[in-house]
Each structure stands twice: as structure tokens, then as C-alpha cells.
Amino acid sequence: MSGTQEFLFDLSDTGGVDYTDESTNIDARTLDEMRELMAAYPQPRSALIPMLHLVQSVDGRVSSVGVRVCAELLGISAAAVVGVATFYTMFKRKAAGQHHIGVCRTALCAVMGGDILMERVSEKLGIKDGETSPDGKFSLEAIECNAACDFAPVMMVNWEFFDNMTPDKVEKLLDDLRVGNRVQSPRGAQLTSWREAERVIAGFSDGRADEGPGAGEASLAGVQAARVNNWRAPDAKSMTGAAQ
Ligand code: FES
């Protein structure tokens, strides 16, 4: 092989926490709630992830003040907090929109139309992957497999599933969200906002966890087939014997 192969990287948008922006909505109530989360674990440090979700619920992102507060309360370095905040993609360093749209583009969703859905959402909202609309109403993210491949192609809004999506369904969904119509996830709760969803993920229930069906038809197809055919799981003891 002749010549040198050159790989180009574009990491310009990986973004750390913005320390130039000191704005925050964290108040005494937020601090009390953070302490409440810390008290729920044998090791307070285990509360860091829910605490960061709580920061996002009030600040719309992992704010610099949020990082500092988490570090001080937990007695760890700001670098340790940022290490977690920048590892998990659910943590945003730029403000997410009122509604955060995720489009799955992993293999199965992609071949079932995920790429086309992403294009349609992007065109309609005028934003690309990783961007937030200027009015703060929507943000968009290409997401990896949601473990909902039986409903491909799948989208998420504020972390709630939208199954078997089509470009027409996308149009209606975004129109409804834009004008504030009631929108129900086919397998989850009625949509509120991304920040409210973040508060629930932090551990503060809004009483809607049981809204919607527990599982969709496609996920239950195997169970139905087993019932019809009278299939049974092998006896655990016989399996242990087989392994020996
Ligand atoms: S590939 Fe999209 S949910 Fe699995």
C-alpha cells in the first residue's frame, strides 16, 4: 500500500460544560432536594446521576453552577462531576428545548426509515442533530438503539417512545407539540416537557408512571405464541444439570 492514510476528526461539537455561563435557577428548594437524593443511598456519591438530572430539570442543561453545587454537596471534585456529565449522552451541556426530540438511527431503525425521519424532523424544525431551535421550543438528537427495535423506526420525545413512525406521523406530532395539543406516547405518559421529564428521572414522581400500556403488542408476541403453543420454559434444575 502506498502513501499515508489520513483520518480526519471533527470533535468541535463534543463540548464541555460552559463555565462562562453562570446563570442558574438552582435555589434552596433544589438544594434540599439534592440532599434528599443523597440521603436515599448508602454512599451519597451514588446520587450524582439523579442530582445531575435534577440540575437539568431546573437549568435545562448541566450548568456550571450545577456542577459546582453537586461537587460541594458530595465532597468530590468538579472534574469528577464533569466526568460523569460528559460521559452519558442524556446529560446536555447546551440547553435542550422545551421538547427534546430523539430519532433512532441505529441499524434496524435506519433501514426501516430512521434516516428519512431524521431528515424530515430536521427540515421541519430547521435544526440539525445537536441543535436547539432559536425559540427554545425544540432540540434534536440522533440517538442510538432504544432497545425498542420491535417498533422500528422509533422516535422519542422527552424520553417517551413513539413507535412505528412515518414521515406523516412526524408531521402531526411536531405540529401538535408546536401548538400545545395534548400528545400521548403510545407506550407511556402524556407528554409534559423535557425539564419535567428530567425531574421525574431524578426521582420526583409526577404520578404518571403507570399511564399507558406496560408493553406493546410487538413485545408480547413471543409470550402470545408460547401461550397458544403451550410452550414452557425448561425447568431450572434440568438446565443446571445440563450445564454440569
Ligand atoms: S435500532 Fe432503533 S430501537 Fe433498536
Q: Can you read off the three cell numbers belonging to residue 145?
A: 438503539
DSSP H stretches of helix in the chain: 28-39, 48-59, 64-74, 78-85, 107-109, 115-125, 167-179, 194-202, 217-229, 236-243
Q: Which of 145, 156, 161 to mutate for ligand 1's pocket (most ligand atoms within 8 Å of CB)? A: 145
DSSP letter at 132 equals: B
Instruction: Note the pLDDT tens digit of each residue in 136-148.
Output: 999 999 999 999 9
- Judged by DSSP in three states, 113 sits in helix
- Judged by DSSP in three states, 197 sits in helix
HSE (CB half, 13 Å, CA atoms) of 211? 16
Q: What is the pLDDT of residue 1?
A: 45
CATH of domain 99-192: 3.40.30.10
Q: What is the pLDDT of residue 230?
A: 94
Q: What is the mean pLDDT of the chain?
A: 91
Q: Are 129 and 94 in contact (CB under 8 A)?
A: no
Note the pTM of the prediction, 2 decimals: 0.86
**Average confidence (pLDDT) over 25-38:** 98
Distance 170 CA to ligand 1 centre (A): 17
Which atom belonging to ligand 1 lies closest to the Cα atom of 153? 2
Q: Please give the span between the terminal C-alpha atoms of the chain, in angstroms, as a whole number.
A: 51
Q: What is the pLDDT of residue 83?
A: 94
**Domain boundaries along the sequence of the chain:** 28-85, 99-192
**Average confidence (pLDDT) over 20-24:** 88
- Judged by DSSP in three states, 1 sits in coil
Q: Which of 108, 116, 219 to mutate for ligand 1's pocket (most ligand atoms within 8 Å of CB)? A: 108
Distance 163 CA to ligand 1 centre (A): 10
Q: Can you read off the three cell numbers belonging to residue 218?
A: 410487538
Residues with a CB atom less than 6 Å from ligand 1: 104, 106-109, 145-146, 148-149, 152, 154
**Average confidence (pLDDT) over 38-62:** 97
Cβ neighbours for 62, distance < 8 A, ≥ 6 positions apart: 17, 52, 55, 56, 85, 91, 92, 93
Cα(109)–Cα(233) distance, rounded to whole angstroms?
30
Instruction: Note the pLDDT tens digit of each residue in 174-208.
Output: 999 999 999 999 988 999 999 999 999 999 999 98
Q: What is the pLDDT of residue 211?
A: 87
Instruction: Note the pLDDT tens digit of each residue in 115-173.
Output: 999 999 999 999 999 999 999 999 999 999 999 999 999 999 999 999 999 999 999 99
